[in-house]
Amino acid sequence: MDTVYFGGGTPTTLSPGSLSHVLTLVERYFGIQDRGEVTVEAHPDTVTESGLRSLVQAGFNRISFGVQSMDNKELLHVGRRSVSESVRTVVAAARRAGFMNINLDLIYGLPGQTDESWLSTLDQAFALEPTHLSCYALTVEEGTRLDVDLRHGDTAGPDAELQNAMGDEACRRLALAGSERYQLSNYCRPGYTCRHNMLYWEREQEAIVFGLRLTGGVELGIIRTGLWGGALDWSWEQGLKRLTREGLLKGEASCMKLTALGRRFADSVAVELL
């Protein structure tokens, strides 16, 4: 294996020993390449420095902290404990333990979040010098506290226009700070692209391209969000739109299909998208 990824959810609710044991079994039965990328997701309150050191010794070399926001009031709105101070502490602890590749997950469009508070979260997170940042627009998952609050009218849903502005501002700020945007929601310092993310993206591309060769086409929902629920890369999405304008692809009912012209040039469509 070239990449191993423990997540989503919070795998660090398991003990470092349990996680290390699972990784040992993966290595024993599948093998992990030299310099393979081994990631574990973590909530800042579920790890200790000694536990992090144990994970590094077991072979984990990348960690992703679910920060969401550096504003404690915003976290409380979505049922999360305050973490802003613990984030600073745990990022420093992770570095001391040997993690040199650190991602922070951030969310914009949270209830009560303003453009100013989002920029403050971005600035505070970037000041911690992570190698990677993931900035996601809030989506309301069924059964969560936020979902319940919305249905009861206790809070307002995400403002799409404000979310778009926040996403654009993140792109500008992080580009100026030297981070490259390699996927819709993912930014990294040069040389720190998440290889696991890229493998998923390549598999999504291939599955969609070859799915277009089927007479039934590919569901538009899959085109829009990716086979594994992640947003498609912006530049690739523009390629789909361009092929549609050129008459090679068409949206029909709930599917995207090759047109009659597109079927004649199916290999060219595949090359364009791959």
**How crowded is residue 40: how many other Cβ atoms within 10 Å of its Cβ?**
25
pLDDT at position 217, please?
80
pLDDT at 90: 96
Cα–Cα–Cα angle for 261, 263, 269, rounded to 5 degrees: 90
Residue 197 CB neighbour total at 10 angstroms: 22
pLDDT at residue number 231? 59
pLDDT for the residue numbered 247: 92
Domains of the chain, first to last: 3-193 (3.20.20.70), 199-273 (1.10.10.920)
Question: Which structure tokens are listed for 266?
Answer: 């199916």
Give phi and psi for 211, each to the nearest 5.
-65, -30
Note the pTM of the prediction, 2 decimals: 0.80
- The pLDDT score that the predictor gives to residue 48 is 95
Among 250, 251, 273, smallest CA distance to 261 is for 250
Q: Which parts of the chain register pLDDT below 50? A: none
11 contacts 41 by C-beta, under 8 angstroms: yes
Within 8 A by CB and 6+ apart from 204, the residues are: 226, 227, 228, 230, 232
Closest CA to 46 of 63, 59, 60, 58: 63
Q: How far apart are CA 201 and CA 51, in angstroms?
A: 31
Residues 194, 7 contacting (CB under 8 angstroms): no
The encoded tokens of residue 65 equal: 């902290």
Q: Dump pLDDT digits (tens) for 221-257.
A: 777 666 666 656 666 777 888 889 999 998 877 788 8
Q: What is the pLDDT of residue 233?
A: 63
- Beta strands 101-108 and 132-137: pairing type? parallel
Looking at residue 152, its pLDDT comes to: 81
